[in-house]
């Protein structure tokens, strides 16, 4: 049997246990429904800042807006000691609408002319992805800043880092300027010297591997010296995001369940996946081949702990000093862009049960008023067990039974999970199924209105003394909650 019990903060547990607020919300607003707990972001911000203080490093935390489209999260963040990273024109508009001023906004990602123009008008930080983009930013700056009163705040984003001492197999990236082009980039930047504030360097390595990030930091520290040789005075290193989240409560349960999953693929245990799905591994002559292509939903080195480990890493090239010490001694500000880690425990998704049926292979199928893309990002498999809220009558199964949760699209592929979920009580029509901790990409990054099925509405929920109060996401205002 496999089990993946979610870790939940006390506020979320209390909301689920109280259940009446949830039932009223979903009955009134429909299924599916996304529920946001915006005030939980404060704890996540403070935990990151404690790591900055521990290493005597100054800098800024930027909330990566692409993680979630919620207005209430952005508005709550605007009231906290945090900045925001936007990756599109509409994300920039969202940040401005919800209370952020230009001096707290950084633009990353691909940028069209409208995005750049609006950013220039609000004097935000531009994280430059390529030299053509730099030319375009400066061209538009000249067109709209007739008085030439503002200098553009610039970070240069790099990728493709190499190391002589650390060996890793890194992937090609569509983002950033090749690290080998540092001299060309600085020469180009010199052409705009009078019109820019060159703040420093950035990267976002598409991995959770500490080694690759250490290599990137090592390269960027060298870049600071090269930039000074070009008469620049950079003061910022932006290391992006990728700080991981641990979703599962118990390490042993996670490890035992993954072992069982592998054994079931080998045929040593009862099958627990739909149509023998193997998630990237195959069985050949009793041996598993390939790599289990899943996110590690339980991890001890996550969020602030991951940042702490990174800043504690020693660099032999720099007299074996820690990264934190090097940044502190050289007065380099550290920028980070957490996404999942900053919205950890900020949301859940809920849906009504439409029906229960059996498949042609006698598997129990629980049909939900929700589709896979409402709670799953891309082709990933979600290994976080849902929670069933029963309205009244409960059908006891006597023992844990594996069931499949299926979505409301006319597609064979619309399974919420491609593995069995083990439960001991069957839900009834109209009962509620909760998907915990979905604020980080899961609830809306891939959400669609396929076959005109609705995209989930969002509500913000806060606890007032012993009661829960809710707001339409767009109308949430932190000053009106208590």
Give me the residue label for tokens 């005109």: 452
Rounded-to-integer distance, Cα 261 and Cα 402, Å: 13
Categorize the per-residue pLDDT at 389 as very low, low, confident or very high, splitting at 50, 70 and 90: very high
pLDDT at 169 over 70: no
Residue range 334-352: average pLDDT?
A: 98
pTM to 2 decimals? Answer: 0.95
- The average pLDDT across 160-178 equals 80
Tell me what pLDDT residue 215 has: 95
pLDDT at 458: 98
User: How far is residue 467's CA from residue 136's CA, in Å, rounded to a whole number?
Assistant: 52
pLDDT at 234 over 80: yes
When the pLDDT of each residue in the chain is averaged and rounded to a whole number, the result is 94
| pLDDT category of residue 163 using cuts at 50, 70 and 90 | confident
At residue 167, the pLDDT reads 67
pLDDT at 247 over 90: yes
27 or 167, greater pLDDT: 27
Residue 416 has pLDDT above 70, yes or no: yes
Q: What is the DSSP letter of 98?
A: T
CA-to-CA distance for 72 and 438, rounded, in angstroms? 15
How much is the pLDDT for 327? Answer: 98
Delineate the domains of the chain, giving CATH numbers in brackets.
Answer: 10-37+346-480 (2.40.37.10), 39-244+298-342 (3.20.20.10)
pLDDT of residue 145: 78
Average pLDDT over residues 209-231: 96
Q: Is the pLDDT of residue 58 over 90?
A: yes
Residue 166, pLDDT above cutoff 80: no
pLDDT in tens, 279-312: 988 888 778 888 888 999 999 999 999 999 999 9
**pLDDT value, residue 266:** 86
**CA–CA distance, 201 with 181 (Å, rounded to integer):** 13
Tokens 């009244």 -> residue: 392
* pLDDT class of 102 with cuts at 50, 70, 90: very high
Quick one: pLDDT at residue 52?
98
Is the pLDDT score of 338 beyond 80?
A: yes
pLDDT score recorded for residue 395? 75
**Is 80 exceeded by the pLDDT of residue 40?**
yes
Structure confidence at residue 482 as a pLDDT band (50, 70, 90): low
Beta-carbon contacts of residue 284 (< 8 Å; ≥ 6 apart): none
DSSP 453: P
- Rounded to whole angstroms, the Cα distance separating 399 from 288 reads 30
The mean-pLDDT minimum among 17-21, 128-132, 352-356, 391-395 falls in 391-395
Whether 264 has a pLDDT exceeding 70, the answer reads yes
Query: Residue holding tokens 């935390």?
Result: 61
- Stretch 345-365: mean pLDDT, rounded? 97
Task: Say which range, 9-23, 166-180, 386-400, has the weakest mean pLDDT.
Answer: 166-180
């Amino acid at each position: 049997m496999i089990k993946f019990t979610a870790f939940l903060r006390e506020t979320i547990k209390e909301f689920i246990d109280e259940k009446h607020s949830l039932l009223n919300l979903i009955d009134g607003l429909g299924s599916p429904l996304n529920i946001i707990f915006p005030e939980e972001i404060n704890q996540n911000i403070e935990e990151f800042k404690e790591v900055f203080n521990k290493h005597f490093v100054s800098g800024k935390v930027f909330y990566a807006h692409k993680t979630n489209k919620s207005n209430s999260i952005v508005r709550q963040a605007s009231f906290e000691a945090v900045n925001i990273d936007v990756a599109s024109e509409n994300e920039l508009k969202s940040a401005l609408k919800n209370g952020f001023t230009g001096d707290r906004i950084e633009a990353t990602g691909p940028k069209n002319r409208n995005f750049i123009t609006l950013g220039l008008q609000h004097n935000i930080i531009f994280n430059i992805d390529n030299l053509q983009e730099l030319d375009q930013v400066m061209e538009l700056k000249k067109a709209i800043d007739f008085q030439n009163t503002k200098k553009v705040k610039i970070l240069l984003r790099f990728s493709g880092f190499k190391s002589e001492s650390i060996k890793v197999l890194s992937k090609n990236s569509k983002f950033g300027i090749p690290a080998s082009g540092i001299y060309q980039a600085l020469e180009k930047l010199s052409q705009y010297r009078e019109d820019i504030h060159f703040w420093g360097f950035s990267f976002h390595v598409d991995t959770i591997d500490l080694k690759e990030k250490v290599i990137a930091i090592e390269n960027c520290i060298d870049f600071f010296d090269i930039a000074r040789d070009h008469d620049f005075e950079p003061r910022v290193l932006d290391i992006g995001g990728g700080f991981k989240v641990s979703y599962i409560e118990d390490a042993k349960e996670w490890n035992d369940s993954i072992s069982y999953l592998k054994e079931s693929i080998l045929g040593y245990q009862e099958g627990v996946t739909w149509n023998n799905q193997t998630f990237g591994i195959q069985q050949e002559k009793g041996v598993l081949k390939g790599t289990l292509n899943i996110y590690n939903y339980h991890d001890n080195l996550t969020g602030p702990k991951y940042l702490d480990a990174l800043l504690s890493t020693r660099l032999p090239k720099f007299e074996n000093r820690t990264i934190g010490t090097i940044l502190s001694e050289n007065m380099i500000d550290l920028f980070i862009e957490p996404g999942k880690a900053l919205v950890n425990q900020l949301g859940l998704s809920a849906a009504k049960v439409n029906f229960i049926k059996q498949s042609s292979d006698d598997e129990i199928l629980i049909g939900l008023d929700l589709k896979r893309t409402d709670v799953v990002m891309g082709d990933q498999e979600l290994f976080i067990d849902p929670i069933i809220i029963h309205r009244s009558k409960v059908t006891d199964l006597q023992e844990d039974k594996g069931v499949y949760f299926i979505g409301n699209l006319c597609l064979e592929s619309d399974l919420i999970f491609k593995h069995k979920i083990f439960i001991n009580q069957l839900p009834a029509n109209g009962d509620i199924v909760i998907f915990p901790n979905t604020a980080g990409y899961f609830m809306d990054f891939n959400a669609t209105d396929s076959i005109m099925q609705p995209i989930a509405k969002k509500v913000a929920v806060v606890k007032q003394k012993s009661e829960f109060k809710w707001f339409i996401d767009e109308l949430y205002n932190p000053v009106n909650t208590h």
